[in-house]
């Protein structure tokens, strides 16, 4: 499982792995946040409305779920359990709150924290997206400072200075398990 603050490059790492390591199955999360330009529903995320998400929580269809920056995110349980049962390497890209829930439900899961090279670089990445208003970026930065303090809760840390290097380090950790 890969976690870390917004803007650290989790989605970029996952895109690299999809291209270079198709044997690793990536769980597609469900979210209530609006679709960003270039994102494809069902590939990048499943975009749903609030009532649909609440119904999934009620039906225990999510392995984990958390509210982040005003929107809900979650990991569909069934597909993850099916892949794990089949022995397929599974990668979850989730927020720190969700990582804590997964730790409780899947205690043997490998939790990897993706860290930015520096705070300034994290801020540059978030602002450089150009997809969110200033108040959303400020909220994400405030949350990021809290999430960075949670690094010690994880089994390993990878600093994202280079996407290929960070992705290959993640693959090495996954195969070592």
All structural domains of the chain, each given as residue ranges with its CATH number in brackets, are: 2-176 (3.40.50.300)
pLDDT of residue 162: 95
> Which of 63, 58, 101 shows the shortest CA–CA distance to 84?
63
Instruction: Calculate the alpha carbon distances from 122 to 34, 69, 142, 145 in Å.
Output: 22, 16, 12, 10
The Cα–Cα gap between 10 and 132 comes to 17
Residue at token pair 């679709």: 35
Q: Name the pairing type of β-strands 62-68 and 71-76.
A: antiparallel
Does the pLDDT at position 60 exceed 80? yes
The Cα–Cα gap between 88 and 86 comes to 6
What is the token pair recorded at 143? 């949350």
Tell me the per-residue pLDDT of 86-137, one tens digit each, with 9 for 90 and over.
999 999 998 888 899 999 989 999 999 999 999 988 888 887 766 778 888 8
What is the token pair recorded at 129? 């997206």
Tell me the per-residue pLDDT of 8-44, one tens digit each, with 9 for 90 and over.
999 899 999 999 999 999 999 999 999 988 999 998 8
64 phi-psi bin (left φ>0, alpha ψ -120 to 50, beta other): beta
The Cα–Cα gap between 80 and 26 comes to 9
Does the pLDDT at position 156 exceed 90? yes
What is the token pair recorded at 5? 């603050």
Where residue 143 falls among pLDDT bands split at 50, 70, 90?
A: confident
């Amino acid at each position: 499982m890969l976690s870390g603050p917004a803007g650290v490059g989790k989605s970029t790492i996952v895109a690299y792995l999809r291209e270079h390591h198709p044997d690793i199955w990536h769980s597609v999360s469900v979210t209530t946040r609006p679709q960003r330009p270039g994102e494809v529903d069902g590939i990048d995320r499943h975009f749903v409305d609030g009532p649909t998400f609440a119904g999934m929580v009620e039906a225990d269809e999510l392995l984990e779920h958390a509210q982040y920056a005003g929107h809900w995110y979650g990991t569909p349980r069934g597909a993850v359990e099916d892949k794990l049962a089949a022995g397929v390497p599974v990668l979850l890209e989730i927020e720190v709150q969700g990582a804590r829930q997964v730790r409780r439900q899947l205690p043997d899961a490998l939790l990897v924290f993706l860290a930015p090279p520096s705070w300034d670089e994290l801020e540059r990445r978030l602002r450089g997206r150009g997809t969110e208003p200033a108040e959303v970026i400020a909220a994400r930065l405030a949350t990021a400072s809290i999430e960075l303090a949670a690094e010690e809760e994880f089994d390993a840390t990878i600093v994202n200075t280079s996407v290929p290097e960070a992705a290959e380090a993640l693959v090495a950790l996954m195969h070592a398990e």
